[in-house]
Amino acid sequence: MSSEAVITVDNVSHLFKQHRALDGISFTVAPKSLHGFVGPNGAGKTTTLKLICTLLKPQNGRIEVFGHSVRDDVKAIRRRIGYMPDHFSMYKQMTVFEYLDFFAAAYGFSLKDRDRIVADVLALTDMDGRKDDLIQGLSRGMQQRVSLARVLVNDPDLLLLDEPASGLDPRARIELMEILRELRRMGKTIFISSHILSELAELCDSVTIVDRGRTKYSGPMDDLLEHQTENPVYRLRIDTRNGEAEQDGHADALRQLLGVVTVEPVEGRPEYRIAIDPLKTNANDLLRALLDRGVPIAGFSKDQRHLNEAFMDLTERGVRT
C-alpha cells in the first residue's frame, strides 16, 4: 500500500455481535482526489466511514489516515478531517451564523478569527445571504449546505461525506456537487459514499465499490468499465444546431473507426452508443478520431446504463441474504 495515500484501509474486518459488517476490506485514497465509495445499502459503507474518522476502532486489520493509525493517533487525525454523517442533528433554533460560530468556538478559535472563518465558509457554500435565517426554516438542501459549512470550519484536509445528496431534489444535488468540485480544486481530498454509482460517475476520479463488507473494485473511475466489461460503451451526442440531421449517415463513418465494435443509434435523439475494443483503442483515442473527422460533437461520455450494469454485476445483481 502506498505510503503517500491519504487513506489506507488494509484487510479490515468488523463484527457487530454476530453480524460481519466488514470482511477483509482494503483500498487506498490518493491525495487531492474525489473518491467515491459505493455499495448497496448494508454493504458496510457507514461502518467504514466511522472507522476512518475514529468513531470506531477496527477489530482486525489496519487503517491509517495521513499516515496516522486510527487506533493510536486519534487527535492527529481529527485535526485534519471533517465528517458529515448521512443523518445529522442540528440546533435548529439557532441562526445559520450562530450555529457555525458555535462550532468555531468549540474548535478553540478566537472571536476575531471566528468572524472571518464563518464568513469564509458561508461564502464557499453560497449561504452568506442566509446567515441570519433560522435553521429550522431552511429547506433540506439549504440545511445540507449548512452542515457542509460546519464540516469546513476547521479547514480540514480530508472531507468524509456519508450520502451527502440523500433527500435532495435534482437542483440541490447539482449545486452540492459543484461545491464539492470547488473544494477539490482548493486541494482537499474528498471521500464521498453513495449507493448510486451513476450519481458519482461524473464527479469522482476514483471509486471503491463494496458489497457484503468486501472490496469488489477499487481504482480509477475511467478503468471501471474496462475492468468489468469486454467492450466498454460510450455515448456520443451530435450537435444539430448547424442543420445536422438527428439521425443521418454518421453511423457508417463511426463504424469505420479503429477499435469500434458496434454503433447503435439512440431512437429519437441525435445520439449513438459506441462499443469499443479496449485492446485496439480507448476513449481518448476515439474522441480524437471523431474530432479529426469533423464530427460535430455536443457530448461524449461513458454510457450510464453500462455503469449501472457494471455495478450490478460487481454487487451480485443486488441479491441480499
pLDDT of residue 266: 85
| 52/67 Cα distance (integer angstroms) | 12
Q: What is the mean pLDDT of the chain?
A: 87
Partnered with residue 95 across adjacent β-strands are 134
Instruction: Give tens-digit pLDDT for 39-57.
Output: 888 889 999 999 999 999 9
Asked whether the predicted pLDDT for residue 319 surpasses 70, the reply is: no
Q: Closest Cα to residue 202, out of 273, 69, 302?
A: 302
Cα maximum dimension of the chain: 68
Taking residues 144-164, what's their average pLDDT? 94
Q: DSSP readout, 141-201?
A: HHHHHHHHHHHTTT--SEEEEESTTTT--HHHHHHHHHHHHHHHHTT-EEEEEES-HHHHH
- The pTM assigned to this predicted structure is 0.77
- What confidence score (pLDDT) does residue 31 get? 96
Supply the Cα-derived Rg of the chain in whole angstroms. Answer: 22
The CA angle 87-92-94, to the nearest 5 degrees, is 135
- DSSP letters spanning 286-309: HHHHHHHTT--EEEEEE-HHHHHH
User: Residue written as cell 477499435?
Assistant: 259
Whether the CB-CB separation of 186 and 214 falls below 8 Å is answered with no
User: Are 110 and 80 in contact, with CB atoms under 8 Å apart?
Assistant: no
Answer yes or no: is pLDDT of 238 > 80: yes
pLDDT for 229 equals 63
Q: What's residue 244's pLDDT?
A: 53
Instruction: Say whether pLDDT at 75 is over 80.
Output: yes
Domains of the chain: 7-220 (3.40.50.300), 229-316 (3.30.70.100)
pLDDT value for 251: 84
Tell whether the model's pLDDT for residue 141 goes beyond 80: yes
